Amino acid sequence: MKKRIVITGMGTKNAIGGNVSEFARSLREGVCGISQIDLFDTTDFRTHKGGQVKDFDPRRSIPEEFSLKRISRADALSMAAALEALTDAGLYPLQENIKENMGIAIGGGAGGLLEAESFYADLLRKGKERSKYSQLSSLFCASSADRIASSLEFSGPRATFMTACSAGATALGYARDLILNGHAGIMLAGGVEPMCRLTYAAFNALKSVDEDVCRPFDRNRSGLSLGEASAVLVLEPLETAQNRGAKIYGELMGYGVTCDSFHMTSPDEKASGAARSMRAALADGGLTVEDIDYINAHGTATPVNDLTETKAIKEVFGSRAYQIPVSSTKSMHAHTLGASGALEGIVSLLALSKRFVPPTIHWRERDPECDLDYVTQGARRAELRAVLSNSFAFGGNNTTVIFGRYEGQGAIHE
């Protein structure tokens, strides 16, 4: 029988939570984290809002023993989340025997591009000789996993996934497999996405950003809200977790990865890729649609995504599609791209362990084609057995992850 892999620790920085418990409270209360951003000047942009991590001071979240020299925002956000997750799991400070088999899988995003843009702007102004190339040392997104693993002296595998908006979810799935295949004992897995000018300009150039706040599944939805976040989870075999008396948020039941093979920036209108991804995750977990009690939607609030995703859910779930809640928490924390799959993994595990369904906020008017139960009137208390979380991306990359409630020793009772 396949080993069961559980989640024993979580950490995050996002627009509605400086840590996991604050994040849980905000999700329940339907807090909106989308507002004017101030990381860079948005004057010349068409839009000005986003889900920024406000008041982030790396030193307040990362102890003195870790150098912050040349650290990028992305690396600092992910390091903070990693330390929170390890502490939450009761693993920090790390013991030598744990380090040896500890690995890390991170869904990457813009990496150190925010800092590189400052460098590049300098370079354009002042010329090559006077620019500080050291500002580029954390440019690429693999830097976050390296920084965390080197600082904490892991000897296990390291990998960074770059499947755009599904990267965080993909990292969770592969982290599970690295444990199942014997490559690692315990894995840190998650995603990080910093805001930067390139991303902001890119989505604006594609005209896929809502000037106000995103309104997932609403009839008049007109685009997404861009966000940033770090989200890191601790994955380990159930047996290991029980032996060390860890608390358990839930189980990673299954995941599926597929490709649209259709268009680089638009989903397949027939929703085949999204439907196949959900089916692959169900099959991987040995589950049926009857086992799923809540869908944490990709729900970006672009006209085409929400329509396609609704179609795909109906195709896979049949009549059950109308019986289970489907919500997009991006309405609160915005679309955190490379981090979103991991961040929404945390949402799913909070929903399971704290027994609630987070809402879709900002929804105003019913779309005749988006006719599922989108939880538009606030959070609900609910006993959930399993939660399915979707992440779909540019390049036609789809990933679905399913988390299950855990009932035995170490279960969280709230």
Q: Any bridge partners for residue 399, and if so which?
A: 257, 391
Q: Give burial (CB, 10 Å; 0-12/13-18/19+) of 242.
A: middle
User: Catalytic amino acids?
Assistant: 165, 298, 335
95 binds other proteins (CB under 8 A): no
Distance CA 243, CA 240 (A): 5
Please list the alpha-helical segments (H only) found in 38-130.
Answer: 58-61, 73-88, 96-100, 113-126
The residue from 30, 33, 108, 191 that contacts other proteins (CB under 8 A) is 108
Rounded-to-10 torsion of CA 200, 366, 358, 276: -70
Least distance from C-beta 346 to other proteins, angstroms? 21
The residue from 18, 30, 33, 103 that contacts other proteins (CB under 8 A) is 103
The residue from 20, 80, 164, 324 that contacts other proteins (CB under 8 A) is 164
Region of 27-35, 133-141, 241-249, 376-384 interacting with other proteins (CB under 8 A): 133-141
Q: Give burial (CB, 10 Å; 0-12/13-18/19+) of 105.
A: buried
Least distance from C-beta 259 to other proteins, angstroms? 3
**Residues within window 268-297 making contact with other proteins, judged by CB under 8 A:** 272-273, 276, 280, 284
Which residue has 């990080």 as its token pair?
192
Size of the residue set binding other proteins (CB under 8 A): 75
The residue from 38, 54, 126, 153 that contacts other proteins (CB under 8 A) is 153
The residue from 21, 22, 25, 45 that contacts other proteins (CB under 8 A) is 45
Which residue has 């489907």 as its token pair?
326
The residue from 56, 92, 154, 356 that contacts other proteins (CB under 8 A) is 154
340 binds other proteins (CB under 8 A): no
Q: What is the 3-state secondary structure (H, E, C) of 244-289?
A: CCCCECEEEEEEEEEECCCCCCCCCCCCHHHHHHHHHHHHHHCCCH
Least distance from C-beta 54 to other proteins, angstroms? 22
SS3 34: coil
Region of 25-33, 137-145, 241-249, 319-327 interacting with other proteins (CB under 8 A): 137-145
Nearer to other proteins, 124 or 413 (CB): 124
Region of 26-34, 157-165, 319-327, 359-367 interacting with other proteins (CB under 8 A): 157-165
